[in-house]
């Protein structure tokens, strides 16, 4: 007897218990909630031969930063794959490419896979979101590519909260804020506990300049969100960022210390590093004093968790941390050897951070200017890349070019020009 998952895909298990736990895991995983790993474990405990259950568990392990366990689980899935059907084998093979360190091939495999199996949500998910395979492709125009990807899938999903939230995210990141907010409200009405939905509802509010309303909304939403879940630290960063924009320094540091930075956050190292480095430097740009020990701490964290070159978005923030901590050796390694998906941009931005730390503003402007045309290639969201936008504006300010700074912000990030979070630009 064949069973089908919650999205109508045939699955190679005849155990209802395995199917039910798998569906629960998919629900938790797609909503960025805690509990997916436990659910997938229960699924493969009920049916140890369920290959896709093992692959799903590998996904959940990876999402929680346990790469050794993820590789063991995908090896189990690969061993059992001959018992699975062609969709499941294709799904497992695509994720194997991710874990083997071949994101480009994985992205191509997923794009082909969803042509045949558009409702294989767990597979489709790999190319969605700003941290997905398209988001981290390093390609010019990847935001438009993400929009085209979710737009093509959306009609296959009917009133599905997850796909609606993913398309709303794509709309937000291409500047279609009202359409994003409208679709995200529908998605959140169907599943109010979808953290991806709350996350990009907050992004839309950020893009609309709704600081007070956004701060209120997200602070309320996160109160019921498990602090072990993958987005807890990053949503706390959004709250801290809005506190910064509001001039509420005490609330900003409270959030950074308890939920964003090393020691406080339980999230993925890439979020801990990038969110902490970004808020520290954005605080400096806004005129708040940042203790040197904070930079030393995040520099040490970056060196520990990202010792190898490769993840450009992380490296861009690691270089900032090393520069501000005054660690020339760590900085030089990135500035000279970065070779990830946007390595050619990481090298000049790393040099710029070093020049900024030395207050060599003309040289900083020269280096930073080299990356401004295509910052989307770094990956991440627009709100995250405002780190680079604000750094550029701040360099202009340091050079006494106040009018140029004002015009730059107005032309590149008009939402921030209303109340610039830059000292001296109000």
CB 95, CB 55: distance < 8 Å: yes
Judged by beta carbon, residue 119 or residue 385, the one nearer Fe ion is 385
State in angstroms the smallest separation of the CB of 138 from Fe ion: 19
**DSSP-derived pairing of the beta strands 10-11 and 3-4:** antiparallel
State in angstroms the smallest separation of the CB of 181 from Fe ion: 15
CB 119, CB 136: distance < 8 Å: no
State in angstroms the smallest separation of the CB of 110 from Fe ion: 22
| H or E, element range at 4 | strand 3-4
Judged by beta carbon, residue 150 or residue 381, the one nearer Fe ion is 381
State in angstroms the smallest separation of the CB of 238 from Fe ion: 6
Please give the Cα distance from 37 to 226 (Å, whole number): 14
Judged by beta carbon, residue 367 or residue 381, the one nearer Fe ion is 381
Judged by beta carbon, residue 211 or residue 367, the one nearer Fe ion is 211
Judged by beta carbon, residue 12 or residue 211, the one nearer Fe ion is 211
Please give the Cα distance from 75 to 426 (Å, whole number): 56
Please give the Cα distance from 122 to 22 (Å, whole number): 11
State in angstroms the smallest separation of the CB of 134 from Fe ion: 16
Judged by beta carbon, residue 13 or residue 274, the one nearer Fe ion is 274
For Fe ion, what does the binding mask look like between residues 339 and 378, x meaning CB under 5 A?
----------------------------------------
Please give the Cα distance from 86 to 27 (Å, whole number): 23
Judged by beta carbon, residue 69 or residue 226, the one nearer Fe ion is 226
CB half-sphere exposure, 226, CA atoms < 13 A = 12
Tell me the residue number closest to Fe ion, measured at CB.
Answer: 381
Please give the Cα distance from 376 to 205 (Å, whole number): 20
State in angstroms the smallest separation of the CB of 177 from Fe ion: 15
In this structure, how many other beta carbons lie within 10 angstroms of the beta carbon of residue 4? 11
State in angstroms the smallest separation of the CB of 326 from Fe ion: 29
| Span 207-226, contacts to Fe ion by CB under 5 A | none
State in angstroms the smallest separation of the CB of 226 from Fe ion: 18
State in angstroms the smallest separation of the CB of 129 from Fe ion: 10
> Residues touching Fe ion: how many (CB under 5 A)?
1
Geometric angle at alpha carbon 188, from 179 and 381, rounded to 5°: 60
Please give the Cα distance from 383 to 4 (Å, whole number): 39
The DSSP code sequence of 254-317 is: HHIIIIISTTT--S-HHHHHHHHHHHHHHHHHHT----HHHHHHHHHHHHHH--SS--HHHHHH
- CA 262 from centre of chain: 17
State in angstroms the smallest separation of the CB of 265 from Fe ion: 14
| Span 87-126, contacts to Fe ion by CB under 5 A | none
Place of tokens 């602070």: 219
Judged by beta carbon, residue 209 or residue 348, the one nearer Fe ion is 209
Judged by beta carbon, residue 125 or residue 381, the one nearer Fe ion is 381
Judged by beta carbon, residue 57 or residue 381, the one nearer Fe ion is 381
CB half-sphere exposure, 218, CA atoms < 13 A = 32
Please give the Cα distance from 50 to 68 (Å, whole number): 20
CB 89, CB 81: distance < 8 Å: yes
Judged by beta carbon, residue 234 or residue 322, the one nearer Fe ion is 234
State in angstroms the smallest separation of the CB of 257 from Fe ion: 19
| Span 371-410, contacts to Fe ion by CB under 5 A | 381
The DSSP code sequence of 159-211 is: S-HHHHHHHHHHHHHTT-HHHHHHHHHHHHHH-TT-HHHHHHHHHHHHHTT-H
Q: Which residues bind Fe ion (CB under 5 A)?
A: 381
């Amino acid at each position: 007897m064949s069973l089908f998952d919650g999205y109508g895909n045939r699955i190679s298990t005849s155990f209802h218990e395995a199917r039910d736990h798998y569906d629960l895991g998919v629900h938790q995983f797609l909503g960025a909630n805690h509990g997916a790993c436990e659910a997938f474990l229960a699924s493969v405990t009920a049916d140890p031969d369920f290959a896709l259950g093992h692959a799903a568990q590998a996904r959940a392990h990876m999402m929680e930063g346990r790469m050794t366990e993820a590789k063991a689980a995908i090896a189990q899935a690969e061993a059992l794959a001959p018992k699975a059907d062609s969709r499941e084998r294709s799904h497992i093979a695509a994720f194997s490419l991710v874990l083997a360190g071949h994101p480009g091939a994985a992205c191509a495999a997923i794009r082909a896979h969803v042509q045949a199996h558009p409702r294989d949500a767990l597979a489709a998910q790999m190319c969605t979101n700003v941290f997905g395979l398209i988001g981290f492709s390093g390609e010019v125009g990847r935001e438009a590519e993400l929009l085209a990807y979710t737009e093509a899938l959306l009609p296959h999903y009917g009133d599905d909260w997850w796909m609606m939230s993913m398309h709303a995210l794509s709309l937000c990141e291409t500047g279609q804020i009202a359409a994003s907010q409208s679709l995200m409200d529908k998605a959140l009405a169907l599943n109010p506990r979808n953290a991806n939905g709350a996350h990009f509802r907050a992004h839309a509010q950020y893009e609309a300049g709704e600081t007070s309303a956004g701060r209120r909304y997200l602070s309320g939403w996160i109160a019921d969100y498990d602090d072990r879940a993958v987005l807890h630290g990053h949503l706390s960063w959004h709250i801290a960022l809005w506190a910064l924009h509001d001039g509420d320094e005490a609330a900003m540091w409270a959030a950074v210390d308890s939920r964003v930075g090393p020691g406080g956050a339980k999230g993925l190292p890439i979020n801990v590093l990038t969110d902490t480095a970004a808020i520290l430097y954005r605080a400096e740009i806004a005129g708040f004093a940042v203790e040197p020990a904070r930079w030393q701490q995040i520099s040490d964290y970056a060196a520990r968790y990202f010792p190898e070159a490769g993840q450009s978005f992380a490296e861009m923030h690691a270089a900032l941390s090393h520069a501000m901590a005054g660690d020339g050796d760590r900085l030089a390694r990135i500035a000279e050897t970065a070779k990830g998906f946007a390595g050619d941009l990481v090298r000049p931005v790393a040099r710029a951070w070093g020049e900024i730390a030395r207050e060599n503003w003309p040289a900083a402007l020269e280096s930073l200017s080299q990356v401004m045309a295509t910052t989307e290639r770094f990956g991440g969201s627009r709100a995250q890349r405002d780190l680079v936008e604000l750094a550029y504006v701040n360099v202009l300010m340091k050079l006494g070019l106040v009018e140029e700074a004002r015009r730059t912000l107005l032309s590149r990030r008009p939402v921030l020009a209303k109340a610039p979070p830059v000292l001296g630009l109000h």
